[in-house]
Structure 1
Amino acid sequence: MSSCMLACLTIFFYRRRNMLSVLLLAFFFITAGFAILNYLLPIVGLTPDAVERYIPWATAIAAGWQKSILQSITSINLMETAKQIPAYTVPLAILFYLFDYSILCGYLLSTIFGILCIYELYHIAEDLFDERTAKLAAFLLVCSPLFCLLSTMLLRDTMTLLFILWFFRLWLLHDREPVIKYRLLMIFSLGYAGLLRPAIIFVILFSVVCAKTIFNPTQRRGILFRITALTSAIVVLAFIFSLINKVDVISQARIMQGVKYSDIEAINARQAASADAGSAYAPAINYGSFTDILQYLPLLIVDFMGGPFPWQVKKVSQGLAMLDSGALWLLYLFFLPEMVQFFRRNRKWGGIIFSYLVVGVSASAALQSNLAAAQRHRLIFTVIILPLAAHGIAKFLWGKHRAINRSAWGAAPGLSSFTGGSVPGVSRLYPDPPLADRVPAPVR
């Protein structure tokens, strides 16, 4: 399997021969090498989710296929299967079926999704800004120790991140060419991400509503009508299905399992279990109501986006998360001012990113900022800020380069000396206004 991955990346590198292909190859050698080493000499053990849920479920599915694929398909219990996260366990079961239940295949499956995440992030940054920003954003993701670790573990996080990034990439493509295939693929990617992480559907749908209403008042009435009609149709179909099959579809649906995740008792139970297991990196808080959560929300957001701090580290994975947090604090310095400028220049996509981050970060911080899983789930949001942070870094380096050349030559250098003919931040979809201080490069 790793040989096939290497062959595909080598072909991609030979055809493209650009910075992206170099980053993908480097990422593959790092993550696949660590995955194989971890398989032979266990360094980072399997997570409880992998041991208790993913491996048994995928093994049971693959064992059923070995007996009779047709019989396994015809005897599927939809309600029971929906609880087993089939969006992740079925691809894992396929690898188990083909490669004799090898755990290494589960590690490499995460590596594949990690490679695709880098690819999608590169093109998102390229569409929003330029090629140089895209290279820097992809480089920052490759250098993330926590992302590299998750790309070598038997977890669904890189798969979830891939479908979220793919959704936003399809949205950008739809802005460029509004055809129905992009809309259908957007619905598919959103639905698949919802099967992996049900709560992400609400976060992304909120971003869509904000983009179509608050940041685009001309489409407000139409989009609200469509959302209401679609929701009503889904509820009616679920009710009809419940009557026919005598099953409470709404309460058993995968998305409702995500809603139950936000119950006060469920939040307290998760924190207590995390504290007992020693995986929490902050004191547990026993909430009495949602008012208590709102009171602690600013502190929870700091813990979620900036933790764990050095005095909270207890495990190797938390140590890697701390290194990741240290880099994030530096990136926030470039991201925040760049977000303000980007919103002024591109109100639609600035609003989309802003609403996605505000709702997603606030909800995640309230529900799980003290849990070990928060380190992994934070990537769903911090990866989205990388294009903006990379653009801020590119402009900072460009300003330093201009200052050095001015002191050396007494005039501003040509833009091509730094960008190879392009200005940092000039997007193919949303170009910036021309700069007023473009001066030809001095003759050397």
Structure 2
Amino acid sequence: MAGRKPAGPKDSMIDLIFGAVGLMFGVLLTTFLALRVRALRWVLGVAFSVRAGAALFHRYVSPLPDGVADAVSFENYAWSLAQQGFVAALAQFPGYGNGWGYPWLVSLAYALADRSPLFMQSLSVIAGTLCVLLAYRLAQRIWGQDAALRAAWVTAVFPMLVMYSALTMREAFIILALLFALYQAVIWQESDRLGALLLAFVGFLIAGFMHGAMLVGAVMLLLLLLLNETKRLCAALKRRNVSFIGLGLVMVGLVAVLMLASGSLSIPYIGTLAKGLSVDTWIALAQRQAHGGASYPDWLSPENAAHYLLLLPARIAYFIGAPFPWDIRSFPQLLGLVDGLLYLAVSFLILRNFHAIWHNPAARLVLLICAALVFVYAIGVGNFGTGLRHRAKFIVPALVMAAPWLPHLRWLVLRRVRYVEGNNASGSASA
């Protein structure tokens, strides 16, 4: 495969063929899932259709708003590695958690087959559609059927989720891995199944491979595990009925914490655990501002620990809702303004119903893990563009937490379906 030229007009047929294969596989998979989960037959169809349509629009009509920066860089980098051949691309393993895991995987696919951005987009479309299914399953386990359908419908049509599921970017895959990890963590909490706990950590490890800061979720789950099992162990000691499994989990948790404390693991944005516990690390991180028209205002950079604590709520608010009206400097940023309003609306639902969420053990578990992740990303991000991309990672868990209070979107489709079915039934009766 070495020595191939960049994809051009002559290679468009290859791109079209591979892309069509990918999208056809997505159609078959979506149909299979819709038949297996009858309650989602319409929402999965809508989710796949809008994502596939966005991917085709981006590829053949006009680039999507966030499809001309990192999406192009990732794809070009993957192609540059692939041109050296599969073995050479395999040897270029980027390491764990530095953010280049996704384009490296793409390069392996390119080296084995050929360059097809549309095929990679189709994989993102499939991952985005699977996110809808996992959002439904997670919300169903936490809140029940009605809330699960609400979460699934909003996830299916949420604008930023549709866009990032149509590009050659890692976001759809990170969200999918995060939802898988949270779903397995909830199963573990409810049933004490060790297999589910291990799968939860696997999910976080996969997400961390594509962006290392996602490992904060695994660290938070580890701390919650240690706290939960320590409480159980203390209660068992009083009853003189110690569980060897519980004792083993506490020991494993302590060993993992000691390994983190030793500095053998470094997480993007915060570094090692020792650095992460230092206030100076967080101040320096918050002072790292991006330059350009999308940068955060200078007043968000703290000067000392006290200033840092005062600015922390504003920093989190900027990550969730920016750009605000006073930050708009160009027309494209108006899209970010609309997106921010949607995030603020979901955040309002969570805050307004915090009592109900906190007293639901499964929802509380999701809330604590995602709150730790949002905190790290809110401090590590210093501009609107990066914030738009990173906060999309957490909107689906947020929708799941707010699921009982989300609006019903399915009535638009179901009303039309009932109308058509009623007409068909009348026609059959007349015949």
The TM-score with structure 2 as length reference comes to 0.73
Alpha-carbon shift at residue 145 of structure 1 (Å)? 0.9
Pairing 1:113-124 to 2, within 5 Å after superposition: 113-124=127-138
Alignment match, 1:26: 46
Q: SS of the counterpart of 2:27?
A: helix
Task: Determine the C-alpha separation between the residues in 2 that align with 1:117 and 1:22.
Answer: 15
Alignment match, 1:327: 342
Extract unaligned runs of 5+ from structure 2: 1-21, 235-245, 409-431
Q: Give 1:294's aligned amino acid.
A: L
Contact 1:211 1:351 (C-alpha < 8 Å) held by counterparts: no
Contact 1:338 1:391 (C-alpha < 8 Å) held by counterparts: no
Q: 1:272 aligns with which of 276, 290, 297?
A: 290
Q: 1:259 aligns with which of 245, 255, 270?
A: 270
Once the two structures are superposed, residues 121-145 of structure 1 have per-residue CA deviations (whole angstroms, 9 ceiling, x without a partner) of 1100011111111110011112211
Contact 1:279 1:372 (C-alpha < 8 Å) held by counterparts: yes
Once the two structures are superposed, residues 135-166 of structure 1 have per-residue CA deviations (whole angstroms, 9 ceiling, x without a partner) of 10011112211111111122211211111110
Task: Determine the C-alpha separation between the residues in 2 that align with 1:309 and 1:181.
Answer: 44
Contact 1:146 1:324 (C-alpha < 8 Å) held by counterparts: yes
Task: Determine the C-alpha separation between the residues in 2 that align with 1:257 and 1:302.
Answer: 21
Alignment match, 2:24: 3
Contact 1:125 1:137 (C-alpha < 8 Å) held by counterparts: yes
Q: SS of the counterpart of 2:169?
A: coil
Task: Determine the C-alpha separation between the residues in 1 that align with 2:111 and 2:224.
Answer: 44
Contact 1:24 1:115 (C-alpha < 8 Å) held by counterparts: yes
Task: Determine the C-alpha separation between the residues in 2 that align with 1:311 and 1:182.
Answer: 46
Alignment match, 2:158: 144
Q: Report whether the alignment pairs 1:302 with 2:303.
A: no
Q: 2:379 aligns with which of 366, 371, 374?
A: 366
Extract unaligned runs of 5+ from structure 1: 239-249, 396-444
Alpha-carbon shift at residue 171 of structure 1 (Å)? 1.9
Q: Report whether the alignment pairs 1:227 with 2:253.
A: yes
Alignment match, 1:165: 179
Contact 1:305 1:378 (C-alpha < 8 Å) held by counterparts: yes
Task: Determine the C-alpha separation between the residues in 1 that align with 2:153 and 2:192.
Answer: 30
Q: Which moved more, 1:260-269 or 1:160-169?
A: 260-269
Q: Give 1:59's aligned amino acid.
A: W
Contact 1:343 1:351 (C-alpha < 8 Å) held by counterparts: yes
Once the two structures are superposed, residues 66-112 of structure 1 have per-residue CA deviations (whole angstroms, 9 ceiling, x without a partner) of 5xx4x665xx265x554764641243224424552122223223222
Alignment match, 1:195: 209
Once the two structures are superposed, residues 148-194 of structure 1 have per-residue CA deviations (whole angstroms, 9 ceiling, x without a partner) of 11111222112111111101111233345544432332232121112
Contact 2:319 2:387 (C-alpha < 8 Å) held by counterparts: yes
Contact 1:137 1:387 (C-alpha < 8 Å) held by counterparts: yes
Alpha-carbon shift at residue 340 of structure 1 (Å)? 0.8
Contact 2:139 2:148 (C-alpha < 8 Å) held by counterparts: yes
Task: Determine the C-alpha separation between the residues in 1 that align with 2:55 and 2:331.
Answer: 16
Alignment match, 1:110: 124
Q: Give 1:304's aligned amino acid.
A: F
Q: Give 1:259's aligned amino acid.
A: I
Query: Structure 1 pair 17/83, CA: closer, same or farther in 2 (3 Å)?
Result: closer
Task: Determine the C-alpha separation between the residues in 2 that align with 1:168 and 1:51.
Answer: 30
Alignment match, 2:391: 378
The TM-score with structure 1 as length reference comes to 0.71
Alignment match, 1:429: none
Q: Give 2:254's aligned amino acid.
A: T
Contact 2:322 2:340 (C-alpha < 8 Å) held by counterparts: yes
Q: SS of the counterpart of 1:372?
A: helix
Pairing 1:64-75 to 2, within 5 Å after superposition: 64-66=84-86, 69=87, 73=90
Alpha-carbon shift at residue 32 of structure 1 (Å)? 1.2
Query: Structure 1 pair 51/203, CA: closer, same or farther in 2 (3 Å)?
Result: same
Contact 1:281 1:371 (C-alpha < 8 Å) held by counterparts: yes
Alignment match, 2:197: 183
Q: Give 2:153's aligned amino acid.
A: F
Task: Determine the C-alpha separation between the residues in 2 that align with 1:148 and 1:315.
Answer: 23
Contact 2:184 2:199 (C-alpha < 8 Å) held by counterparts: yes
Contact 1:87 1:192 (C-alpha < 8 Å) held by counterparts: no
Alpha-carbon shift at residue 360 of structure 1 (Å)? 2.5
Contact 2:47 2:156 (C-alpha < 8 Å) held by counterparts: yes
Contact 1:118 1:141 (C-alpha < 8 Å) held by counterparts: yes
Percent of residue pairs bearing the same amino acid type: 19
Alignment match, 1:440: none
Figure out how many residues of one structure are paired with residues of the other and give that number.
Answer: 366
Alpha-carbon shift at residue 17 of structure 1 (Å)? 6.5
Query: Structure 1 pair 93/313, CA: closer, same or farther in 2 (3 Å)?
Result: same
Q: 1:62 aligns with which of 74, 78, 82?
A: 82
Task: Determine the C-alpha separation between the residues in 2 that align with 1:193 and 1:10.
Answer: 27
Alpha-carbon shift at residue 7 of structure 1 (Å)? 2.3
